[in-house]
């Protein structure tokens, strides 16, 4: 797909992943970048640098507003759909999860189809897989999900498939592994361990690990995820789903150890019983994304975690200043 002089709509573009995607789209020869976000979890400050570019426009609104979506889709070539309630919210607000993640996603897809958008890139999740039945998980791994969040992401994927079958609306779905990086918040069920550990260390308190720390995940830096989105849009791939991860398994013990080293802390982790039963093993195959999208993660876990430590330090200095 050719991005030259294109109008791109980024739904959820003020959020964690979305804002990094907007930053990278600025480097492309696009004509306009329209960001739609309700600013409930997204933040205008995430787009502070991007909004200096005259091509970037932020519209505050909801994907439940069908008429707004129809207006924004007019003249739009490509859509990135990232807006969603995350796992934590889906556990505690299941009806809202259905409204936003399923009905809202349908609204985006329908409006895109009616406006003859050329392609949608949809942010799905490795949550559709649930606990791994075999590792690394390929895209053919069965849906072993047992969470409301995963259920809504499966629904979004299936709606896209149906629209492709009926209307030939091109799309690519990206199944993110465990995304972390600057601008992350505290709502992720797994990656929040990064922020919680750093919070404890800031208070000179030992980091807390729930369970024995052997839980292992595929952590991927948000800038790599944003790059995967751009590559997915540019690719010829359609009606396809791709894992987006490092392809490297990291235990919570190893994650905490690296954070202790990066911060120079001598504190020892404190172990407590597992509070909630979420997925405990996750590792995605990266072969399909490498082969069809040309995507391979570049940022190592250590460098990526250092970027989070540096970002937090800068944020605090700005508050103090």
* Residues with catalytic roles: 149
| Burial class for 265, CB neighbours closer than 10 Å (0-12, 13-18, 19+) | middle
Structure-token pair, residue 143: 């849906």
DSSP structure class, residue 100: I
User: CB neighbours of 164 closer than 8 A, spacing ≥ 6?
Assistant: 170, 171, 238, 239
**For residue 28, what are its two tokens?**
């492309």
φ, ψ of residue 175 to 5 degrees: the values are -95, 95
User: How many residues appear in the chain?
Assistant: 321
State phi, psi for 216 to the nearest 5 degrees.
Answer: -130, 135
Burial state string for 162-180 with b = 16 or more CB within 10 A and e = fewer than 16 = ebbeeeebbbbbbbbbbbb
**175's tokens:** 């199944």
Tell me how many degrees the CA angle 159-97-279 measures, rounded to the nearest 5. 90
Q: Could you identify the residue written with the tokens 């502070």? A: 48
Contact (CB, 8 A) for 172 and 121: yes
Q: Is the dihedral of CA 317, 41, 187, 242 positive or negative?
A: negative
Count of C-beta atoms within a 10 Å radius of residue 321: 5
In this structure, how many other beta carbons lie within 10 angstroms of the beta carbon of residue 214? 12
Distance of alpha carbon 135 from alpha carbon 132, whole angstroms? 6
133 Rama sector, left if φ>0, alpha if ψ -120 to 50, beta otherwise: alpha
């Amino acid at each position: 797909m050719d991005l030259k002089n294109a109008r791109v709509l980024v739904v959820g573009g003020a959020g964690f992943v979305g804002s990094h995607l907007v930053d990278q789209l600025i480097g492309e020869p696009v004509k306009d970048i329209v960001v739609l976000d309700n600013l409930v979890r997204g933040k205008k400050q995430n787009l502070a640098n991007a909004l200096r570019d005259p091509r970037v426009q932020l519209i505050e609104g909801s994907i439940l507003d069908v008429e707004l979506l129809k207006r924004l889709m007019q003249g739009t070539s490509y859509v990135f759909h990232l807006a969603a309630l995350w796992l934590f919210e889906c556990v505690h607000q299941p009806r809202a999860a259905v409204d936003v993640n399923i009905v809202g996603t349908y609204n985006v897809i329908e409006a895109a189809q009616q406006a003859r958008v050329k392609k949608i890139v949809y942010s799905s999740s490795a949550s559709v897989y649930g606990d791994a039945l075999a590792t690394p998980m390929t895209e053919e791994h069965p849906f072993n999900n047992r969470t409301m969040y995963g259920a809504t992401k499966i629904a979004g994927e299936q709606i896209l498939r149906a629209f492709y079958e009926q209307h030939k609306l091109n799309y690519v779905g990206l199944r993110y592994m465990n995304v972390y990086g600057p601008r992350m918040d505290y709502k992720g069920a797994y990656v929040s361990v990064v922020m919680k550990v750093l919070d404890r260390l800031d208070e000179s308190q030992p980091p807390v690990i729930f369970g024995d720390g052997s839980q292992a995940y595929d952590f991927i830096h948000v800038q790599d995820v944003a790059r995967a989105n751009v590559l997915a849009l540019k690719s010829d791939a359609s009606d396809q789903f791709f894992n987006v991860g490092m392809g490297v398994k990291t235990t919570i013990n190893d994650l905490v150890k690296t954070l202790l080293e990066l911060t120079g802390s001598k504190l020892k982790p404190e172990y407590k019983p597992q509070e909630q039963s979420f997925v405990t093993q996750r590792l995605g195959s990266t072969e399909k994304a490498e082969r069809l999208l040309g995507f391979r993660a570049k940022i190592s876990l250590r460098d990526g975690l250092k970027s989070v430590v540096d970002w937090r330090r800068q944020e605090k200095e700005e508050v103090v200043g």
